[in-house]
Amino acid sequence: MSNLSRITFIDERIRSRGFVTRKEVAEEFEVHIDTVKRDIEYMRLFLNAPLEYSNKFHGYIYSTPFETVFSAAEDAALYYIFVHRITDGFRLGGVPYVPVISKDILTKIKSYVPSEYENILDSVVYDSSDQDIMDIRDFRNILRSIKSSLQLEIGYCNAKGEISSRVVEPMLLTNYLGKWYIIGYCHKRKELAVFLISRITNCRVTENMFENAVTKKELKNYTDGSFGMFKSSKTALATIRISEPSMHYIRNQKWHKDQIVIEGSSKGINYIEITLPVGERHNEIIARTMAYAPDSEIVAPKELRDKWLDTIKKMWNKYGTL
């Protein structure tokens, strides 16, 4: 019998009489009692089943109302399918990279997935073609630095192609729009900074411990402060207007957790306006706005709108005669 059969039995027995014992499940399916323990733990962790041991019944009960286990099993199947595809698509150095532990976890989760769901695995695709190529050794060094609180020496290439040496105390490894970044204290800039991992030319973990005690609250305020990955100490509210037909693409998008979205109409044209905090570096918000051209414009503030208009003028001067 499959794990799902035992889980179904546990669920039905609790619903029909209020409790179930590990012994009766083990006897019913002729398995060791430790196997039943793992089934119960799985139901708690992956199906969010409110299972509690009852001294009164010497067995397990639902401590709060719980939806049918079949719906939860479907959620587990979907979880397996999406995790499987994402780990398939996760690439380092241009090749698929899935740690052995991830494969082990997937194998365990799969044992709880209804067999009929295996047939749709090929119908789910995770396209990773836009990911940056990274050196897996850099990735490991960054994780080692974070784990041991040891400073990291890196060579970093900026947007102009200039390479500089940095000493960094990485605090956060994050993926944003398919690209990997580290956020940490930069000794050269003497402040928190963001580094695109694909621009790191060399990476070495030193024996020097972190010196700057940036708190979790400070880190959160930094990461949540404004739109995009590259932050600054000063922020301002920006308003982006996107008209039809592009407005329908962004209606359900979330550009920032504190964004305010309103819908309106002007001269018979419907639009959506997104107001959100932006930092002093405007490249990201301009690029995001331009992605929906010609239906998009930056309304405010004036400084940001002028930069957006200047970008359009430069593009016209460069390509307008083609």
Residue 250 has which token pair? Answer: 């962004």
**CA dist., res. 26 & res. 228, Å (int):** 53
How much is the pLDDT for 20? 94
Domain 3-66 has CATH 1.20.210.10: no
How much is the pLDDT for 90? 61
How much is the pLDDT for 177? 79
Residue 43 has which token pair? Answer: 């139901």
Contacts (Cβ under 8 Å, ≥6 apart) of 103: none
- Do domains 3-66 and 236-319 share one topology? The answer is no
State the pTM of this model. Answer: 0.62
Low pLDDT (below 70) residues in the chain: 1-2, 68-76, 84-106, 108-122, 125-131, 233, 321-322
Residue 193 has which token pair? Answer: 């900074």
Burial readout 132-148 (b: 16 or more C-beta within 10 A, e: otherwise): eebbeebbebbeebbee
Asked if 60 and 52 count as a contact pair (C-beta separation under 8 A), the reply is yes
Q: Are strands 236-243 and 200-209 parallel, antiparallel or unpaired?
A: unpaired
**CA dist., res. 138 & res. 182, Å (int):** 11
Among 1.10.12, 2.60.40, 1.20.58, 3.30.70, name the CATH number for the domain at 236-319: 3.30.70
User: What does the angle CA 241 – CA 224 – CA 168 come to, to the nearest 5 degrees?
Assistant: 125
Q: Coil, helix or strand for 194?
A: strand
Domain ranges of the chain: 3-66, 70-123, 136-224, 236-319
Q: Where are the beta strands (DSSP E) in 138-287?
A: 150-157, 163-176, 179-186, 191-196, 200-209, 236-243, 260-266, 269-278
Asked if 184 and 170 count as a contact pair (C-beta separation under 8 A), the reply is yes
How much is the pLDDT for 205? 94
User: What does the angle CA 79 – CA 83 – CA 87 come to, to the nearest 5 degrees?
Assistant: 175
Cα 116 to its chain centre, rounded Å, is: 28
How much is the pLDDT for 65? 85
How much is the pLDDT for 74? 66
| Torsion on CA atoms 12, 16, 19, 23, rounded to nearest 10 | -60
Asked if 153 and 166 count as a contact pair (C-beta separation under 8 A), the reply is yes
How much is the pLDDT for 213? 76
CATH class of domain segment(s) 136-224: mainly beta
How much is the pLDDT for 147? 92
Asked if 316 and 290 count as a contact pair (C-beta separation under 8 A), the reply is no
Asked if 132 and 197 count as a contact pair (C-beta separation under 8 A), the reply is yes
**CA dist., res. 41 & res. 21, Å (int):** 14
